[in-house]
Chains A and B, each alone.
Chain A
Amino acid sequence: MIDRRHIGHVLPAYMVPVEAGRLRFFAKATGNDDPVYVDEAAARDAGHPGLPVPPTFLFCLEMESPEPAAMRELLGIDYRRILHGEQHFRYHALAHAGDKLRFEPRIADIYDKKGGALEFVRRETRVTNQHGALVAELTCLTVVRHG
């Protein structure tokens, strides 16, 4: 069982720069040929200051933590036993190439189902930009399989 005292634990915050090349690579990898996501001129024509960060790429930037295993190590989770159960994004402002985003993750909840055979860890992460504006709130539900 994962120790429930970790509920509310604040993980170290970190900054991640948004790079245009990564955004183009992500567009290619996800089959996105909408010029707004790959061509700076098209992005500017659509009113963006640069290539926009697509909706789910914030999760990828969240993984750019200098300590990507911080949560698993704190909770003592074997990553071969984990599944991504749910992912939720709430958007407040767009982010663009050139922005520096700050990620503030915390462990919001830990609970179990099926008599402890499945445990769930809900991580909530606030994302703000270099101007201090709230960009998004991410919720990641991790499932840990026992037995």
Chain B
Amino acid sequence: MAEPRYDEVQVGTVLPSLQAEPISRLTLALYCGASGDHNPIHVDIDFARAAGMDDVFAHGMLPMAYLARLVTAWVPQRALRSLKARFVAITHVGDSLTCTATVAEKLEGRTVRLALSVRDQSGIEKLAGDAVVQLS
């Protein structure tokens, strides 16, 4: 895929979205091991219930990794200047997440700011964020 060019993108340009596989307990176990974040609340239902939760739930950094995948599918990672996310709501087992990005602002130095969002199958926002990328 050709890399996007600064002169060709406009405010409102929508990037190809990313649909993640539904979050399973295996997803959470793999992310626990791979990330090194071994907080039991994400993988041990006994611990989660003792902490007052109904079930285990995803690390916030997992959907943030999906957002990073969306951006690095659009531009090579060396073009990424910043990435930011606010963890708005908990992602539950079974959730089917859709990540979206829209060009929100064209900035100095041929960079653009992308508005990022992660929503579940009901449209509930889980993460809101932005990224700044350098275009040619």
Complex-state Cα separation, A56 to B69, whole angstroms: 10
Interface residues of A in 75-124 (CB under 8 A from B): 79-80, 83-91, 94
Q: State which residues 1-51 of B face A: CB under 8 Å.
A: 20-21, 27, 30-31, 33-37, 39, 41, 51
**A-B CB pair tally, cutoff 8 Å:** 97
B84 at the A interface (CB under 8 A): yes
Q: Which of A56, A79, A85 contacts B86 (CB 8 A)?
A: A85
With A30-B65, A31-B69 in contact, is A55–B83 under 8 Å at CB?
A: yes
Q: Does A52 belong to the interface (CB within 8 Å)?
A: yes
CB <8 Å contact, B81 and A91: yes
Q: How large is the interface on A (under 10, 10 to 19, 20 to 34, 35 or more residues)?
A: 20 to 34
Set of chain B residues within 8 Å of A63, measured between Cβ atoms: 35-37
- B35, A55: Cβ atoms closer than 8 Å: no
Q: Which of A28, A32, A86 makes the CB contact (< 8 A) with B85?
A: A86
Q: B residues 77-92 with Cβ under 8 Å of A?
A: 77-78, 80-87
Interface residues of B (CB under 8 A from A): 20-21, 27, 30-31, 33-37, 39, 41, 51, 59-62, 64-66, 68-69, 71-73, 76-78, 80-87
